[in-house]
């Protein structure tokens, strides 16, 4: 599921709500990290099936999902009342892709609205008058309408009804790439992914919960996705220990906004750890197309042995006419040196943990204008979407 069209963020608050949100944004913003967990607690108490079947329990336990919600609401509200605030269009596009990969549909938004507003009222108390509640309700529905519209466009891009993205797939290959990473090939009624996209894998755990986690697609063929899974969390551990060749799991049609752009610009792929997976997907695509673009792949890992996809990367780089692979291993005190790489005019793709992305982004920002890339695109393996802006 993919379109070049970005979400429509031209919607604006009514005049009355605009002033109320502007006046109360400092209060809501200061308390939103307290509001988010209260909201989720209320919603899951009323709808436990959402925690069992839709939301990832690991992200909830770690508090990452709560932080993501807080960041997105605050960012969107700020855009509505501050003409100098950045447009969160990329943030919203990323959320829309995450939602379609989980099969989220319009009917679920009123549930979130009800419990989010209840969370705001509980945390802020008497400060939430009827007028304040109405104004923040308007913020929510403006944001929801943007997402619902974009999600419907994404569903339509693969010719499916909203939410109809889950497919039963069979594991046709399983290979241990390293101590922590296993490669799976899945076959079923799957649509063609864009290079760099991911699929949500659903498994039923021993306690009866159906849990989902998203994994980048490192290779594909008609009706087939290949993923590389780092053993971390409930779903990944279950796949390693309980799912073998011939078994069935659920997989969603491919989604994700970090895709290889059609361009003649040089390509620079920068990743850390299991963040290499979307990069391998892009690198493999370029190799299959016999691309003549200049390709630079920079990867950081703990050790050479922990770089699970090193062999694949080397094979793809060798197949390309103008490609290089540079590694940096932390055990040797090595780091990726952005200044030493040629990023001038390039399309740069980043994927890794929060600290890694912050460091690379800071290094790119320090480059002179003549050494700066043309575009920089991101992917994250946690809900820390506030980094997008």
Catalytic residue positions?
Answer: 109, 151
| Distance of alpha carbon 25 from alpha carbon 262, whole angstroms | 40
Residue 376 structure tokens: 């920089």
Contact assessment for residue 266 and residue 111, using Cβ atoms and an 8 Å cutoff: no
Contact assessment for residue 198 and residue 274, using Cβ atoms and an 8 Å cutoff: no
Query: Which residues are 250's β-sheet partners?
Result: 168, 202
The candidate with the shortest Cα–Cα distance to 228, out of 190, 172, 189, 175, is 175
- Identify the three-state secondary structure at position 211: strand
| Distance of alpha carbon 153 from alpha carbon 148, whole angstroms | 9
Contact assessment for residue 211 and residue 57, using Cβ atoms and an 8 Å cutoff: yes
- Identify the three-state secondary structure at position 281: helix
Beta-strand pair 224-230/181-187? antiparallel
Query: Which residues are 166's β-sheet partners?
Result: 252
Cα-to-chain-centroid distance, residue 300: 20
The candidate with the shortest Cα–Cα distance to 36, out of 106, 107, 112, is 112
Cα of first residue to Cα of last residue in the chain, in angstroms, is: 23
| Distance of alpha carbon 341 from alpha carbon 332, whole angstroms | 20
Q: What are phi and psi of 172, to 5 degrees?
A: -105, -10
Q: What are phi and psi of 49, to 5 degrees?
A: -65, -25
């Amino acid at each position: 599921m993919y379109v070049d069209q970005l979400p429509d963020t031209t919607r604006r608050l009514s005049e009355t709500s605009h002033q109320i949100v502007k006046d109360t944004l400092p209060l809501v913003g200061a308390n939103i990290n307290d509001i988010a967990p209260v909201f989720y607690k209320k919603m899951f108490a009323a709808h436990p099936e959402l925690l069992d079947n839709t939301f990832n329990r690991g992200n909830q336990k770690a508090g990452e999902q709560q932080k993501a919600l807080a960041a997105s609401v605050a960012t969107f509200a700020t855009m509505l009342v501050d003409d100098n605030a950045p447009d969160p269009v990329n943030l919203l596009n990323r959320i829309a892709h995450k939602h379609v990969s989980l099969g989220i549909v319009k009917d679920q938004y009123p549930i979130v609205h009800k419990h989010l507003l209840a969370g705001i009222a509980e945390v802020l108390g008497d400060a939430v008058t009827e007028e304040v509640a109405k104004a923040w309700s308007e913020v929510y529905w403006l944001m929801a309408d943007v997402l619902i519209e974009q999600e419907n466009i994404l569903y339509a891009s693969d010719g499916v009804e909203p939410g109809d993205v889950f497919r039963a797939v069979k594991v046709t290959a399983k290979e241990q790439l390293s101590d922590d990473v296993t490669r799976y090939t899945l076959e079923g009624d799957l649509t063609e992914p864009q290079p760099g996209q991911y699929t949500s894998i659903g498994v039923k755990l021993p306690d009866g919960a159906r849990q989902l986690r998203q994994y980048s697609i490192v290779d594909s063929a008609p009706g087939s996705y290949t993923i590389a899974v780092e053993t971390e969390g409930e779903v990944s551990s279950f796949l390693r220990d309980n799912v073998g060749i011939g078994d069935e799991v659920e997989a969603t049609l491919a989604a994700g906004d970090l895709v290889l752009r059609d361009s003649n610009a040089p390509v620079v792929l920068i990743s850390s750890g299991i963040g290499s997976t979307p990069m391998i997907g892009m690198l493999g695509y370029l190799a299959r197309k016999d691309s003549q673009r200049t390709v630079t792949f920079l990867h950081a890992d703990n050790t050479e042995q922990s770089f699970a996809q090193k062999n694949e990367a080397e094979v793809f780089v060798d197949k390309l006419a103008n490609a290089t692979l540079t590694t940096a291993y932390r055990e040797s005190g090595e780091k990726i040196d952005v200044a030493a790489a040629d990023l001038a005019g390039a399309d740069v793709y980043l994927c890794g943990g929060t600290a890694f992305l912050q460091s690379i982004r800071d290094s790119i920002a320090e480059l002179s204008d003549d050494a700066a890339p043309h575009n920089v695109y991101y992917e994250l393996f946690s809900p820390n979407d506030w980094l997008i802006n």
